[in-house]
Amino acid sequence: MGTKKSLGKEVFSLLKENAASYMMYFALVVIMLVFQIWTKGKFFTAQNISNLFNQAAYVAVLAIGMTLILILRHIDLSCGYVAGLSGAIAAILMEKVGINVWLSMLIVLLMGLAIGFYQGTLVTKFGIPAFITTLAGMFIFRGLLTRSLASTGTIIVTDKTFKAMCQGFIPDIPGNRTGVHIVTMLIALIAVAAVIFFRIRSRKNRQKYNFPVVSLPIFIVGIVAVSVVILFAAWMLAINKGLPISACIVAVILGAYTFMLSKTKLGRHIYGIGGNDQAAELSGVDVKKVTLFAFCSMSVLAAVAGFLYTSRLSSATPTAGLAFEMDAIASSYIGGTAVSGGVGKVTNAIIGTFVIMSLTNGMNLMTIDISYQYIVKGIIFIIAVAFDVRSRKK
Amino acid sequence: MFDEYILEMRNISKEFPGVKALSDVNFKVRRGEIHCLVGENGAGKSTLMKVLSGVWRYGTYTGDIVYEGKVRQFKGIADSEAAGIAIIYQELAFFPELSVYENIYFGHEIMNGGTIDWNETIVQSKEYLRKVRLDIDPSIKIKHLNTGKQQLVEIAKALSKNCKLLIFDEPTSSLNEDDSKNLLDLMRELKERGITCIMISHKLREVTAIADTITVLRDGSTICSLDAKEDDISEANIIRNMVGRTIDDVYPKRLQKNISDIVFEVKNLSAEDRNTGKKILKNVSFNVRRGEIVGLQGLMGAGRTECALAVFGNPYDYKITSGEIWMDGKRVSFKTPKQAIKNGLAYVTEDRKGNGLVLIQDVRYNITLANLDELIPGLAIDENKEIEVAEKYRKEINIKTPTIAQKVKNLSGGNQQKVQISKWLFSHPKVLILDEPTRGIDVGAKYEIYSIMNDLVKQGMSIIMISSELPEVLGMSDRLYVMSEGQITGELPIEEATEEKVMKMAINA
């Protein structure tokens, strides 16, 4: 261990074994750099990075929920229109009925919960495949969305709190005239410190139990790479207006779901059901309850995604929700969720979201027609999944 | 003049990355004999047969295959089939929705012009079904046949391809006693007709009963070839050659028994399958005492697994229609496996890959899955404690794995079984139901599992062992029940149990 020769070997074997997950980072970097060149430097501007975060937020939230569903070997095609409908109902409650923004959102979140419960019940109790259940849901919620906005058309949202969700930024310390958002940089530094702390702790633990660990140089390179990415992104945001509130919302949800999946019984049970539902059942796992939870969580997150999307546009439109589920499913799979179920991480699904949304963002910057955008995304998606399937077979 | 040998495999070596699976194996099969190939799991039997059938094609191994007097270079299964070699695999590959005749001729259809001649196909199929003594209508769907009959269809298929050398890979592992006997008879008949058979088997009783020659492999090498007429082919001698040491007793003895009160009792239990309405249990009563191993014997399909599952919270919709279950003197009823586990019942399934383990997860994950509550002080799983638990079982149960972070799918069958047992031990059961605990695992691992069972009852646990292997049940149990067609047909203390008595009870309802 540790000599120059074996280091090369280790790098090679790491690349070989984790080809699929490295591929995802590699693709992201390549896509971003290519757009940076093609747009003559318009991609990595403070304004655009900030924009990318806001643009990606709703897909990221959907991708987190979708990852759970896909680990369980189900699918939710309806989440796009559930998001669209949620945004519309929230707008109606705030602008037309005149209910307080927080109460409006609470009502819509409960509506999301009810939708999830309805679809989850069909899947678990009636045994209708999720594909069929949510395809029907896609029809129903699209219809409800169109109907709810039929008399008013597009509703403009004026509530400042609601609009801040996907347009606003976290406050800075008063009187800061440096031109750099100090709180954003502080948060980034804390994040870097946390990454270093947790990685070292986990490494020490693994060593204590003689689990395989990467060699020290590679470990350090990994930490440095993550830190640089965090600091770079934070710097781009800090010289603009700071950390978007949408990013904070995503981060909180991401943190909660990561904790749930990796540290709690519920998370273990989700992976167990995805890996072998019969074995899970016989080990005392309540398969139906856990599956029902995943559908409820998906639809509640779809409601949140609906808020973010509506907030960013400051309006609820009848076309909101179209193809959201496609971006969410693609994000999750590009992020390494196994097509055969049982494997997947929400953090990686977020990386997948950035791959998909960087494509959208970059192609928008280049004013490429939406038809080509779909084709390009489809090709990237299928390459990513094909790569994953092949590398898993070995 | 015929060659005496139909097949000679000379100095076959085959390497996988990091492992030498076969080294200089010599294997000679006489024309028209039944040749049994035995050895522990991992001894190289399957690899040798894969080399022979072209799955590992010419060039991926070294050595020569001489078949019918010529050196052959098979580049795939198609080549070996064309030469008249066919394998009947342990796990049958069928098209369940197709008819028997479609299955028999799948891949070598009888053509007439550009289309399939179905009439001729049916006529021919009947002929081959007759040859394997299977009296069924060839147009029924194959999924409606039981495993034993499906296997006969597979043999008919091989015969229809005009095969001269038929290889059976663990043919009786999933058959009941009747079907096994039937199959062995058929093999003798095929031999009469000049077809050479190679049989891979763990069941030494069958091997000694049928073999003309027995070749023993160990660690990728040929240990010996025993002639049934001249050499000592006692089970003891075969085992000695397989493991390289003498196992004086296949079943470890418990020195002192400490059997006390009844812990678990089932009274007059009847149950039906909710989906088909079929009665699966009729008035079943049995009990198990603290520190006792109770055997539940019966033929395949007698309802033993169904009985265990119905008691264990009927996860597959086995509806209990009447009867009582008592645990520790209290009446209980389990609606889900979760409740059963909470009340001290554990069930080690017969199908560890199908519904026992989450293969894509690691050893640690699988060991703790059934009792995570014990590892959760607050909201999150205490991973340090979890690792300690997993390490403890790895050492105690002797699970051979590089680390507990190893994925279970990469372990051998015996070690997978040990992981499964560890999982259920960690749920701290009072009563442990073991369903076919040694199926498909090698002699050494079997002995270890028997020893674990003895340790557990010594500590006061109660074990119900379901097994199709009569010697195993007789060797391990303190008392046994026999089941047939969903009913308990007899109860015997071990002192009175003989193979004949048990078989009689298992056959007559």
Terminal Cα distance for chain A, rounded: 26
Residue B18 has what pLDDT? 55
Whole-number Cα distances in Å, A96 to A100, A155, B50:
11, 9, 73
Report, as an integer, the average pLDDT of B138-143: 90
Same domain, B412 and B383: yes
B350 is a domain residue = no
B200 is a domain residue = yes
Residue A388 has what pLDDT? 82
Among the partner residues B315, B383, B403, nearest to A282 by beta-carbon distance: B315
Mind telling me how many Å the CA of B370 is from chain A's nearest CA? 5
For tokens 């094609």, name the residue: B57
Mind telling me how many Å the CA of A280 is from chain B's nearest CA? 8
Same domain, B281 and B424: no
Tell me: pLDDT of A143 over 50.
yes
Mind telling me how many Å the CA of A173 is from chain B's nearest CA? 35
Residue A249 has what pLDDT? 97
Q: Express as a percent the part of chain A with pLDDT over 90.
A: 82
Task: Quote the number of domains for chain B.
Answer: 3
Minimal-distance CA residue of chain B relative to A213? B405
B361 contacts A271? CB cut-off 8 A? yes
Looking at per-residue pLDDT, the higher value among B108 and A114 belongs to A114
Highest mean pLDDT among A87-101, B107-121, B254-268, B301-315: A87-101
Tell me: pLDDT of A394 over 70.
no
Domain boundary among the residues B214, B243, B272 is at B243
B349 is a domain residue = no
- What is the count of residue pairs from A and B with beta carbons less than 8 Å apart? 86
Same domain, B239 and B292: no
Residue B248 has what pLDDT? 54
Distance of alpha carbon A17 from its chain centroid, rounded?
25
Domain boundary among the residues B428, B457, B489 is at B428
Residue B2 has what pLDDT? 58
Report, as an integer, the average pLDDT of B26-38: 93
- Nearest CA to A316 out of A100, A113, A158 is that of A158
- Other Cβ atoms within 10 Å of A28 Cβ, number: 18
Question: Residue B375: which domain range?
Answer: 356-428
Residues of B engaging A, defined by a Cβ cutoff of 8 Å:
312, 315, 336-338, 340-342, 347, 349, 354-361, 365, 369-370, 372-373, 376, 379-381, 383-384, 387, 391, 403-405, 423, 427
B377 is a domain residue = yes
Provide, as residue numbers in chain A, all residues whose Cβ is less than 8 Å from the Cβ of B336: 284, 286
Q: Would an 8 Å CB–CB cutoff place A284 in contact with chain B?
A: yes
Residue B205 has what pLDDT? 85
Among the partner residues B336, B356, B376, nearest to A265 by beta-carbon distance: B376
Same domain, B34 and B173: yes
B372 contacts A211? CB cut-off 8 A? no
B147 and B174 Cβ atoms separated by less than 8 Å: yes
- How far is residue B434's CA from residue B446's CA, in Å, rounded to a whole number? 13
Same domain, B230 and B82: yes
A281 contacts B358? CB cut-off 8 A? no
Mind telling me how many Å the CA of B422 is from chain A's nearest CA? 12
B417 and B352 Cβ atoms separated by less than 8 Å: yes
Residue B249 has what pLDDT? 64
Amino acid identity at A217: P
Q: Using only C-alpha atoms, what is the Rg of chain B?
A: 25
- Nearest CA to A358 out of A331, A386, A321, A393 is that of A331
Among the partner residues B349, B372, B405, nearest to A268 by beta-carbon distance: B372
Same domain, B18 and B113: yes
Residue B25: pLDDT band by 50, 70, 90 thresholds?
Answer: very high
B328 is a domain residue = yes
Whole-number Cα distances in Å, B427 to A132, B306, B343:
38, 22, 10
Question: CA torsion sign, B316 to B319 to B323 to B325?
Answer: positive
pTM: 0.81
Domain boundary among the residues B221, B243, B265 is at B243
Provide, as residue numbers in chain A, all residues whose Cβ is less than 8 Å from the Cβ of B356: 279, 282
A280 contacts B403? CB cut-off 8 A? no
A259 contacts B380? CB cut-off 8 A? yes
Quickly list H helices, B294-438: 304-311, 337-342, 363-368, 383-396, 413-426
Residue A17 has what pLDDT? 73
User: Cβ contacts of residue A237 below 8 Å, gap of 6+?
Assistant: A46, A49, A50, A53, A181, A184, A243, A244
Lowest mean pLDDT across A17-21, A50-54, A189-193, B203-207? A17-21
Residue A1 has what pLDDT? 42
Minimal-distance CA residue of chain B relative to A340? B360
Residue B17 has what pLDDT? 63
Residue B11 has what pLDDT? 94
Residue B382 has what pLDDT? 93
Residue B339 has what pLDDT? 95
B16 is a domain residue = yes
Lowest mean pLDDT across A252-261, B25-34, B243-252? B243-252
Tell me: pLDDT of B9 over 60.
yes
Mind telling me how many Å the CA of B435 is from chain A's nearest CA? 13
Residue A8 has what pLDDT? 80
Per-residue pLDDT tens over the stretch A341-361: 999 999 999 999 999 999 999
B361 contacts A263? CB cut-off 8 A? no
Report, as an integer, the average pLDDT of B156-162: 90
Q: Would an 8 Å CB–CB cutoff place A2 in contact with chain B?
A: no
Among the partner residues A210, A212, A342, nearest to B360 by beta-carbon distance: A342
Residue A281 has what pLDDT? 94
Same domain, B44 and B146: yes
Q: Would an 8 Å CB–CB cutoff place A198 in contact with chain B?
A: no
Same domain, B202 and B257: no
Q: Across all residues in chain B, what is the average pLDDT?
A: 89
Report, as an integer, the average pLDDT of B222-246: 83
Residue B113 has what pLDDT? 86
B360 contacts A343? CB cut-off 8 A? yes
Provide, as residue numbers in chain A, all residues whose Cβ is less than 8 Å from the Cβ of B315: 278, 281-282
Minimal-distance CA residue of chain B relative to A271? B361
B380 contacts A263? CB cut-off 8 A? yes
Same domain, B229 and B307: no
A209 contacts B358? CB cut-off 8 A? no
B349 contacts A282? CB cut-off 8 A? yes
Minimal-distance CA residue of chain A relative to B374? A265
- Residue A353 token pair: 């979201």
Report, as an integer, the average pLDDT of A208-226: 87
Per-residue pLDDT tens over the stretch B345-366: 999 998 898 999 999 999 999 9
Residue A3: pLDDT band by 50, 70, 90 thresholds?
Answer: very low
Distance of alpha carbon A252 from its chain centroid, rounded?
12
Minimal-distance CA residue of chain B relative to A277? B355
DSSP string, A314-326: TEE-TTTTTTHHH
Q: Note the ipTM here.
A: 0.87
Per-residue pLDDT tens over the stretch B80-127: 989 999 998 876 778 888 999 999 999 889 998 889 999 999 999 999
B360 contacts A279? CB cut-off 8 A? no
Report, as an integer, the average pLDDT of A67-92: 97
Same domain, B163 and B183: yes
A335 and A352 Cβ atoms separated by less than 8 Å: yes
B361 contacts A272? CB cut-off 8 A? yes
Distance of alpha carbon A216 from its chain centroid, rounded?
31
Provide, as residue numbers in chain A, all residues whose Cβ is less than 8 Å from the Cβ of B349: 279, 282
Same domain, B462 and B483: yes
Tell me: pLDDT of A179 over 60.
yes
Mind telling me how many Å the CA of A259 is from chain B's nearest CA? 8
Per-residue pLDDT tens over the stretch B422-476: 999 999 999 999 999 988 787 778 889 999 999 999 999 999 999 877 788 889 9
Optimal mutation site among A198, A277, A283, A394, interface B, most CBs of chain B within 10 A: A283
B198 is a domain residue = yes
B400 is a domain residue = yes
Lowest mean pLDDT across A186-200, A220-234, B244-258, B328-342? B244-258
What CATH number does residue B220 fall under? 3.40.50.300
Same domain, B63 and B197: yes
Residue B245: pLDDT band by 50, 70, 90 thresholds?
Answer: low
Per-residue pLDDT tens over the stretch B162-173: 899 999 988 887
Residue A190 has what pLDDT? 96
